[in-house]
């Protein structure tokens, strides 16, 4: 299991042994002594002039950057994406202009709530973020391994995430916080059904699907828009861990998913996913039973079948994790011509949140970091800022309009206007169908899960909910069972039985 890491060191040693290099400071001054500090006399004290020592200590003190506020623990790999089916009638994106087109990708998989270094097998959604380096710029599809999410309004995100992190006093994770929140936000039910099935503990990152989850849009060369959902189907087969297996692995091998991904790629067993889309026309959207932009709902595959797009293969482990994975900045607003957004409120919120997070975590010029840099030329009037390392556009004019360069805003990339439902700004109450948090979770339980999956899901719910404690315990459990009952009575009664809780549906 551990052999790959040893081989890496050996390969590095073989590759570098022939070329002797001098140890230097960051400014290039050669070291004459690496182990001992410069002292007055053999027993010290240390002299202030030992800059080698200062530089080393000072740089070390600055090694940590803020971890991602969510999805801190993750693994990444490079690879390629290849178009296998013609979808050019939906999009004018050059990447999809013909079958056989290819581009480089970076994928990063992650857990959500845990800190960097937390266990890979926690029950949690998995992040599934892909950066496509296309000739038209970077397209980032920043999804999860679940097609829906816990909430449908970005205003709820920070509070929801607080419940997944640590209790302010005990500094421990708390099932009481989680179920209190979920039971007060029944729109989370659909996501909970997936999270507490064994899909909530996937067997590593290779054997799970990915979903763009939101409704996005595509725009074709006639400037027509369709609504789109993205699906990455694993070609390794869907494999999950039972709750018990996941718990055991947390202790035995907290880096289980990272190790699985690296070992597979390093041994030539390159993981692959088929990218597919669902398409809904603007007309169909008007009569869809639910709000088509509601992130807590799926589009039934029977009505909106999957259409093949291409295949992603991961075939290279980044040489340096910090440089190419920790510093990777994925951003749902990184779109390319022909791929666009939708009114989905969560997506709209994320368009702002991610670049803001990157500016805090990596700095204003995060797009200049090599792993984030687009492969196409970048022309704009952004200048200066900490860590400007791209030449800062040299002597080119730094204002627009000007009489000296020929940079223009190209109107051919304009997308069609989005028709709004209303022009009245307000905090809208949801309509009846938007508050249907129960039909799809019920269908998932009754019609998608087999008997074993149902059994495991119930047992996983019982395991987590039995940890709810404190004076509000009964109130929280009762409220949550009420939601389960609205989705499926048997589900609620079985969980109540497992909890030995007196519940009347
Ligand atoms: C990471 C915000 C919903 C998938 C992040 C980060 C923030 C954030 C601030 C850290 C970015 C960084 O520091 O690099 C939000 C907000 C949301 C939301 C405000 C809702 C309004 C979602 C949803 C999905 C998702 C619905 C999936 C469909 C991810 C993934 C990452 C991430 C995969 C990690 C990206 C990486 O690997 O670097 N999110 N998020 N998020 N989020 Fe969200």
- With respect to residue 25, please indicate whether it lies within any of the assigned structural domains: no
Cβ neighbours of residue 21 closer than 8 Å, sequence gap 6 or more: none
| pLDDT top residue among 419 and 144 | 144
Cα(277) to centroid(ligand 1), Å: 21
**Count of domains forming the chain:** 1
Find the catalytic residue in 61, 85, 138, 144.
144
pLDDT of residue 431: 62
User: Looking at the domain assignment, is residue 501 inside a domain?
Assistant: no
- Residue 20: per-residue pLDDT: 86
Give the residue with greater pLDDT, 7 vs 306: 306
Q: Is residue 22 part of a domain?
A: no
Q: Yes or no: say if 154 and 346 are a contact pair by the CB < 8 Å rule.
A: yes
pLDDT band (50, 70, 90) for residue 3: low
Q: Which atom of ligand 1 is nearest to the CA of 66?
A: 13
Q: What is the mean pLDDT of residues 389-399?
A: 97
Q: Quick check: CB of 149 below 6 Å from ligand 1? A: yes
Asked, for residue 272, whether it belongs to a domain, the answer is: yes
pLDDT at 139: 98
pLDDT by residue (tens digit) across 152-204? Answer: 999 999 999 999 999 999 999 999 999 999 999 999 999 999 999 999 999 99
- Contact (CB, 8 A) for 76 and 328: yes
166 in any annotated domain: no
Confidence of residue 235 (pLDDT cuts 50, 70, 90): very high
% of the chain beyond a pLDDT of 70: 96
Q: What is the pLDDT of residue 505?
A: 84
Res. 216 pLDDT band, cuts 50 70 90: very high
Task: Supply the CATH number for residue 363's domain.
Answer: 2.40.180.10
Is 353 contained in some domain? yes
pLDDT at 7 over 90: no
What tokens appear for 129 in the block? 């973020």
- Is 270 part of a structural domain of the chain? yes
Q: pLDDT for 264-293, tens place per residue?
A: 999 999 999 999 999 999 999 999 999 999
66 part of a folded domain: no
CA-212 nearest atom, ligand 1: 28
Nearest CA to ligand 1 atom 17: 350
**What is the rounded average pLDDT of the residues 74-78?**
98
Rounded (10°) angle between helices 451-465 and 489-499: 50
What's the pLDDT score for residue 5? 58
What is the rounded CA–CA span in Å between residue 364 and residue 355?
A: 9
Residue from 142, 195, 345, 360 whose mutation best tests the ligand 1 pocket (most atoms within 8 A of CB): 142
pLDDT at 130 over 70: yes
**Quick check: CB of 454 below 6 Å from ligand 1?**
no
Is residue 379 annotated as a catalytic residue, yes or no?
A: no
Token pair 């390159």: residue:
270
432-462: pLDDT as tens digits: 567 899 999 999 999 999 999 999 999 999 9
Give the residue numbers spanning the domain of 246.
74-149+205-374
- Determine the Cα–Cα distance for residues 20 and 7; give it in Å rounded to an integer: 21
Ligand 1 and 296: CB distance under 6 A: no
Mean of pLDDT over the chain: 95
């Amino acid at each position: 299991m551990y052999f790959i890491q040893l081989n890496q060191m050996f390969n590095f040693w073989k590759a570098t042994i022939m070329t002797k290099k001098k140890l230097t400071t960051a400014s290039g001054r050669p070291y004459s002594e690496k182990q001992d500090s410069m002292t007055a006399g053999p027993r010290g004290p240390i002299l202030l002039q030992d800059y080698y020592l200062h530089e080393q200590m000072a740089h070390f003190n600055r090694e940590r950057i803020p971890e991602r506020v969510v999805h801190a623990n993750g693994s990444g790999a490079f690879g390629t994406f290849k178009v296998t089916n013609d979808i050019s009638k939906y999009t004018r994106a050059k990447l999809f202009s013909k079958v056989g087109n290819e581009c480089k990708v970076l994928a990063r998989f992650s857990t959500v709530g845990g800190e960097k270094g937390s266990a890979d097998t926690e029950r949690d959604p998995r992040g599934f973020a892909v950066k496509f380096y296309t000739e038209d710029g970077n397209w980032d599809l920043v999804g999860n391994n679940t097609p829906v999410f816990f909430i449908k309004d970005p205003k709820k995100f920070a509070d929801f995430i607080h419940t997944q992190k640590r209790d302010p006093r005990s500094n421990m994770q708390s099932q009481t916080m989680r179920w209190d929140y979920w039971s007060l936000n029944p729109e989370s039910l659909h996501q909970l059904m997936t999270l507490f099935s064994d899909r909530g503990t996937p067997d590593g990152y290779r054997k799970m699907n990915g979903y763009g989850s939101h409704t996005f849009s595509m725009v074709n060369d006639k400037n027509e828009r369709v609504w789109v959902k993205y699906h990455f189907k694993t070609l390794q087969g869907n494999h999950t861990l039972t709750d018990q297996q996941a718990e055991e692995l947390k202790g035995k091998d907290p880096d289980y998913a990272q190790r699985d991904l690296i070992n597979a790629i390093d041994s030539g067993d390159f993981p692959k996913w088929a990218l597919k889309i669902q398409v809904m026309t603007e007309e169909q959207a008007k009569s869809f039973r639910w709000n088509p932009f509601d992130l807590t709902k799926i589009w039934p595959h029977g009505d909106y079948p999957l259409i093949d797009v291409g295949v992603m293969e991961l075939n290279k482990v980044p040489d340096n994790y910090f440089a190419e994975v920790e510093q990777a900045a994925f951003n749902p607003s990184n779109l390319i011509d022909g791929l666009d957004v939708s009114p989905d409120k969560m997506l709209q919120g994320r368009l702002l949140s991610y670049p803001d997070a990157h500016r805090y975590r990596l700095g204003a010029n995060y797009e200049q970091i090599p792993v984030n840099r687009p492969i196409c030329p970048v022309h704009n009037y952004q200048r200066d800022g900490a860590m400007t390392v791209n030449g800062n556009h040299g002597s080119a004019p730094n204002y627009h309009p000007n009489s000296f360069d020929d940079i223009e805003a190209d109107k051919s990339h304009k997308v069609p206007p989005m028709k709004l439902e209303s022009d009245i700004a307000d905090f809208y109450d949801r309509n009846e169908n938007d508050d249907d948090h129960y039909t799809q979770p019920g269908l998932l339980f009754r019609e998608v899960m087999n008997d074993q999956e149902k059994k495991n899901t119930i047992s996983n719910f019982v395991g987590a909910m039995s940890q709810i404690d404190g004076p509000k315990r009964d109130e929280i459990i009762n409220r949550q069972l009420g939601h389960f009952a609205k989705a499926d009575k048997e589900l609620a009664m079985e969980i109540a039985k497992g909890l030995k809780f007196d519940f009347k549906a």
